[in-house]
Structure 1
Amino acid sequence: MFTLRVATGDQPPGNQENPAELFRAVVAASLVTGLEMFDFTVFGFFAVMIGDHVFPAKDPMTSLLWAVGTFGVGFFMRPVGAMIIGAYADRVGRRAAMTRTSWMMALGTAALAFCPSFASIGVIAPLVVIAGRSLQGFAVGGDFGVAATFVMEAGPASRRGYLVSWQLVSQGAAALLGASLGVLLTSTMSRAALASWGWRIPFLIGLLIAPVVLYVRYRLRDDAIPTNTARHARTPLAELRREHGTTILLAMLMMMGQTIPVYAIVYYMPSYATRVMHLPAVIGYLSSALSALLLVVIPPLSGRLIDRLPRRKPLALIASGCTASLVYPVFLMITRATSALPVLFGVALISTMVALGAGAVALLVLEALPARVRASGMAVSHALHVALFGGTAQFIVTGLIRWTGDPMSAAWYVMPACAVSFCALILFKEQRFET
């Protein structure tokens, strides 16, 4: 057992704890979040199989539409989880909140792993899947903001960019593991076996990881919230609305420019490649795996760069502007692809820009909020923007393609969203609350 002092309220910001202890704290808060996100993201990777199994329909695109719609249900539970769990973390403590989200995530994963097919239990099957996705969404909605706050407050201010970057690495690692499993399963299993039961394997793996998640997080210990901070944090949501409403709104729009490209291009690529472009399934999974690899490798390098720069905003602006400019040519390249190389190159371009700027944007938001409402503020802004823009991205893109019959119609949704995000970043005021 080790002690980790978190900078909240009256405590001095920045921590000079033993490097080994700081490393364990980062692993517990960041990489364990990645283990949770693994279960959350594989649903998107295997949406086609889940749609055929739980939402059978005569039209394959209709089945996929129902599946990605259910994928979005979990995202709409995120704001609820963010408000409840984030406020709890600001009142009681970061670790206490994170251990509770681990339990809820495990239960939601079990529902998905063991749900019978529609042919076996009828309409109860989609209801079970929706319930499992809702519980996962509630848990992850609170966990991301709380864990990011925990990591930022755990170490010295001079290393914040690097420390926060590992929160992004954990998500990339989760996506990499999910995509790698997709490649492995599609390469080694027959199509019939994969559609029948093989898609359950990633959820079962995620369920086996749950005890590790709980063990690591129970070993963390953060200090009690100081009395004056706890008094102010009794109504963190009211303070957020009253004093930081503009910050939360701009934060949502800023992060939208990273979330929509990731969910509409990266996570959606296995379904897009097979159902829309009629390419081999392995191409979609390889592109997602490459994207996830970049999201693992680039953020720590970007984080070190952030720590060396006097301001966070310029790097975020460069990455955001490049993302908005690249969306149309990337989709044009993908829709004309006849092999894997153009798809991989296009997805890699978008992933690189997202990975480069995501840490700077997250740190801008965290530092713009005082410690007494930081966890709830980060959780709410992240969960709301993901619910509104991330959870609906695949559904909207699928609907646009089905309505117009044009695969390029997806770009006309993603590109304006990235432009709006760039404008919000320009308007965002960079400031640093230490307490």
Structure 2
Amino acid sequence: MHSTIPTPGPSARQDAAQPAALSHAPRRVVAAAVAGNALEFYDFLSYAFFAVYIGKTFFPVHSSYMSLLLSLAVFGFGFFARPVGGVVFGLMGDRVGRRASLILTLALMTLGTLGVALTPSYASIGLAAPAIVVLARLVQGFALGGEIGPSSAFLIEAAPADRRGLYASWQFASQGAGILVAGLMGLLFGRLLGHEAMLAWGWRAAFLLGLLVVPLALYLRSSMPETLHAAAAKPERRPRRAPLRYVVIAVGVILGGTVSAYVGSYMTTYAIATLGMPPNAAMAATVALGLFTLVFAVVGGWMCDRFGRKPTMLWPRVVSALATVPAFMLLDASPGALTLVLVTSVLAAINALTGAATLVAVPEVFERRHRALGLGVAYAIGVSIFGGTTQFIVTWLIHATGNPIAPAWYATAASVVAVAAMLIMPETRDEAA
């Protein structure tokens, strides 16, 4: 792979500025960043996968549709704090360091997850139950909003010059890992437990089991090297760009992948609530989503280094815009487990290719001194506005229109906007990190 990837002068100079500690432990460096990130996405997104049970626990209204809608609205509340987290931890990452930011986000995510998992039901403590869950979701959102910027900046700065795409792709791949584990937990619990046990305590156990890896993740992050000032001795040889302009462009780039990703994470709920499939069969969609996101994100990172950031971002997003509606039409015409897994897998693979490239290209477009803040704010705004509302909007669209294809049209519109923004983005592969 090394012989086919061009390594121009600026990248070579940047590579020379890498601290020795980073070159001796590349696997440990990647693990430090992605272990905590995978855990945080597992905790945050598990809420979506168990939304049906959480809705009945904390929002026991007469209509199952309203119970689910209220549960998904609280899922969206977690996104409100993400821009704040992006700013706070982005500034912290760019001034204090990447490592300190990542340790604190992990600690806060653990606290928020405990709040969701251990809160008594509405039947036990009344209105205090949904109030505590909303607060816990805000803490989770604040933490996750601050995770992306510093961790992506760290991976890019820790990587060898010709592998920045591959290293940074593990940011997106770790999200797939978190989804995969959440899906496997859902399948396991669904097979071992009945509906009543899942409603009573099964979904809570899935959250708590994820926290078992917190000590390892904290250990890895506390021992990771600091990359913020790794190349301070050498001036940056890269184009000077206006941070605000590229934050706006980055939001447009990110929203396409965000809507597609959260439509993907909605597939389990969609299969149960709209297609009428049994929960065990529906949970297979989550496993497929996680597996194909994990694998194809790494493929996307390799393609970034081989072919460039921009084509790897752009062409899969074009395919996504063209393929999502036909895929949902197929699923609606043949709503079986096999079709569900096939559709979810194909759409997840396409989104992972472009999503991994996005999480390489967007941080690279910013100078090092603005990198964690620039990506953190752009990602948090894009995800808060579009990710936090996606599942609520598509649930409402299906109910209001009676059209089960509605989520696909919404995802397609977002992809079109993202393609337009990607055309403006510069190519950054051959620039110094």
Do the two structures share a fold, i.e. TM-score over 0.5? Answer: yes
1:364 is aligned to 2:361: yes
- Describe how 1:259-274 pairs up with structure 2 within 5 A: 259-264=258-263, 266-274=264-272
CA distance in 1 between partners of 2:227 and 2:319 (Å): 42
CA distance in 1 between partners of 2:40 and 2:153 (Å): 17
Instruction: Tell me the C-alpha RMSD between the 2 structures.
Output: 2.3
Partner of 1:236: none
Whether contact under 8 Å (1:315, 1:360) holds in the other structure is: yes
Partner of 2:134: 130
1:335 is aligned to 2:332: yes
Whether contact under 8 Å (2:81, 2:142) holds in the other structure is: yes
- Describe how 1:24-423 pairs up with structure 2 within 5 A: 24-222=28-226, 225=229, 243-264=242-263, 266-309=264-307, 311-423=308-420
Whether contact under 8 Å (2:314, 2:423) holds in the other structure is: yes
Whether contact under 8 Å (2:158, 2:227) holds in the other structure is: no
> Per-residue deviation at 1:362?
1.7
> Per-residue deviation at 1:293?
0.5
In structure 2, list runs of 5 or more residues that go unmatched.
1-10, 234-239
Whether contact under 8 Å (1:13, 1:434) holds in the other structure is: no
> Per-residue deviation at 1:226?
8.3
Partner of 2:5: none
CA distance in 1 between partners of 2:202 and 2:158 (Å): 40
CA distance in 2 between partners of 1:195 and 1:226 (Å): 50
CA distance in 1 between partners of 2:166 and 2:230 (Å): 27
Whether contact under 8 Å (1:287, 1:347) holds in the other structure is: yes
Whether contact under 8 Å (2:154, 2:227) holds in the other structure is: no
CA distance in 2 between partners of 1:376 and 1:35 (Å): 22
CA distance in 2 between partners of 1:307 and 1:77 (Å): 33
CA distance in 1 between partners of 2:272 and 2:95 (Å): 47
Whether contact under 8 Å (1:371, 1:433) holds in the other structure is: no
CA distance in 2 between partners of 1:18 and 1:29 (Å): 13
> Per-residue deviation at 1:30?
1.6
Specify the SS of the correspondent of 1:172: helix
> Per-residue deviation at 1:12?
5.9
Residue identity opposite 1:245 in structure 2: L
Whether contact under 8 Å (2:18, 2:158) holds in the other structure is: yes
CA distance in 2 between partners of 1:142 and 1:189 (Å): 36
Whether contact under 8 Å (1:43, 1:71) holds in the other structure is: yes
Whether contact under 8 Å (1:165, 1:299) holds in the other structure is: yes
The alignment-based identity, stated in percent, is: 36
Whether contact under 8 Å (2:15, 2:161) holds in the other structure is: no
Whether contact under 8 Å (2:34, 2:170) holds in the other structure is: yes
How many residue pairs end up in the alignment? Answer: 416
> Per-residue deviation at 1:167?
1.1
CA distance in 2 between partners of 1:364 and 1:94 (Å): 19
Whether contact under 8 Å (1:16, 1:156) holds in the other structure is: no
> Per-residue deviation at 1:221?
3.3
> Per-residue deviation at 1:411?
2.2
CA distance in 2 between partners of 1:255 and 1:227 (Å): 28
Whether contact under 8 Å (2:22, 2:29) holds in the other structure is: no
In structure 1, list runs of 5 or more residues that go unmatched.
1-6, 230-239
Residue identity opposite 1:429 in structure 2: P
The C-alpha deviation readout for 1:190-214, integer Å capped at 9, x for no partner, is: 1111111111011111232222222
Q: TM-score, normalised by structure 2?
A: 0.91
Residue identity opposite 2:246 in structure 1: T
Residue identity opposite 1:340 in structure 2: A
> Per-residue deviation at 1:228?
8.2
The C-alpha deviation readout for 1:90-144, integer Å capped at 9, x for no partner, is: 0110001111111111110110111000000000000111111100110110111
> Per-residue deviation at 1:413?
1.4
CA distance in 2 between partners of 1:313 and 1:84 (Å): 29
Residue identity opposite 2:177 in structure 1: A
CA distance in 1 between partners of 2:190 and 2:271 (Å): 14
